[in-house]
């Protein structure tokens, strides 16, 4: 274990710089293997879970989902507020912010970002609910890639760049998650579903988030302030993968569905615009969830 950590530190120090020592002793941060092991367990559950549930009845999980989504909504709001207030009163710069500024503000940002990192572990439950409810069509490559990668990426963020320019993407994502998890919490109550109109715009908001994060990251490349340049290039590359995958999801889910509905209407199809026929959801119009 110690030999592995030394090699890991040596590699990343040659790429990003020395490891930040301010977070030593924080839960899950001292060593990488626990984060990696939790991700492997997650992937095993993704693989084996649907097989286990195949011949078993689906669970409703409705009450638990309301509590879970409400909890993540509140946690996301807390992180957004803490990061927003810290960068506002701490005088963080939009174009570039190094990892050492006012100690009290850096500490506040680091505490909020640790919760952000830990929330990526909590969000594995999104997938577990899909498995228990037998909504396997929602367990897409995008869903798994996004959940597994974010948890691991943020372990490295917290160990090398736990504040400074790292604040922006996490702040935006926390705001998006307030909107998203509040929607999913409310949609778990059947009587409220007809009044929830903003699901389509969640993906649009996510795409705006990715483009803004890329722009803000590239600003630090143009106007450097000591923030590790290697991380900036990595973040831009990762955002590109999310833009491609989320754009494809949006096209497949909304654009093609809209085109299909127009064709059905022209052909006199009995399908209604909400994708139901004879009280059952049409397989072609199942709503996917993207986080």
Q: What tokens were used for 274? A: 């909400």
- pLDDT value of residue 140: 96
pLDDT beyond 70 at 109 = yes
Catalytic residue among 143, 146, 147, 165: 146
Quick one: pLDDT band at residue 278, thresholds 50, 70, 90? very low
CA distances from 236 to 210, 221, 223, 231 (A): 9, 10, 15, 9
Quick one: pLDDT band at residue 290, thresholds 50, 70, 90? low
CB 230 within 8 Å of CB 103: no
Enumerate the domain spans of the chain.
Answer: 9-255
Average pLDDT over residues 271-284: 33
Percentage above 90 pLDDT, the chain: 71
User: Among 56-65, 249-258, 277-286, where is mean pLDDT lowest?
Assistant: 277-286
pLDDT beyond 70 at 259 = no
- pLDDT value of residue 10: 80
Q: Which residues contact 191 (CB under 8 A, 6 or more apart)?
A: none
- pLDDT value of residue 256: 64
pTM of the model: 0.87
* Catalytic residue check, 276: no
Render pLDDT for 69-86 as a digit per residue (tens, 0 to 9).
999 999 999 999 999 999
CB 185 within 8 Å of CB 65: yes
Q: Which residue has the tokens 């195949």?
A: 54
**What number of residues does the chain have?**
291
Rounded Cα–Cα distance for residues 188 and 90 (Å)? 39
pLDDT beyond 60 at 276 = no
Quick one: pLDDT band at residue 170, thresholds 50, 70, 90? very high
Rounded Cα–Cα distance for residues 1 and 233 (Å)? 29
- pLDDT value of residue 283: 39
């Amino acid at each position: 274990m110690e030999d592995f950590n030394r090699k890991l530190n040596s590699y990343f120090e040659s790429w990003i710089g020395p490891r930040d020592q301010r977070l030593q002793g924080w839960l899950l941060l001292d060593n990488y293997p626990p984060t990696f092991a939790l991700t492997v367990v997650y992937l095993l559950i993704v693989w084996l879970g649907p097989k286990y549930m195949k011949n078993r009845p689906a669970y409703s999980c409705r009450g638990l989902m309301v509590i879970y989504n409400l909890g993540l909504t509140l946690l996301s709001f807390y992180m957004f507020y803490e990061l927003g207030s810290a960068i506002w009163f701490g005088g963080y710069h939009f174009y570039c912010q190094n990892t050492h500024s006012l100690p009290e503000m850096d500490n506040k940002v680091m505490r909020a970002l640790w919760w952000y990192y830990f929330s990526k572990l909590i969000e594995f439950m999104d997938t577990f609910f899909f498995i228990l409810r037998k909504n396997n069509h929602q367990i897409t490559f995008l869903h798994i890639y996004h959940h597994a990668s974010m948890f691991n990426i943020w372990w490295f963020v917290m160990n090398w760049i736990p504040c400074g320019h790292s604040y922006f993407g996490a702040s935006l994502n926390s705001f998006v998650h307030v909107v998203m998890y509040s929607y999913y919490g409310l949609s778990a109550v059947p009587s409220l579903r007809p009044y929830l109109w903003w699901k389509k715009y969640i993906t649009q908001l996510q795409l705006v988030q990715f483009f803004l994060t890329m722009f803000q990251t590239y600003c630090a490349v143009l106007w450097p302030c000591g923030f590790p340049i290697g991380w900036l290039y990595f973040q831009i590359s990762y955002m590109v993968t999310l833009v491609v995958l989320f754009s494809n999801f949006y096209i497949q889910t909304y654009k093609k569905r809209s085109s299909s509905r127009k064709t059905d209407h022209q052909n006199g199809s009995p399908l209604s615009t909400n994708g139901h026929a004879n009280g059952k959801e049409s397989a072609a119009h199942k709503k996917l969830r993207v986080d």
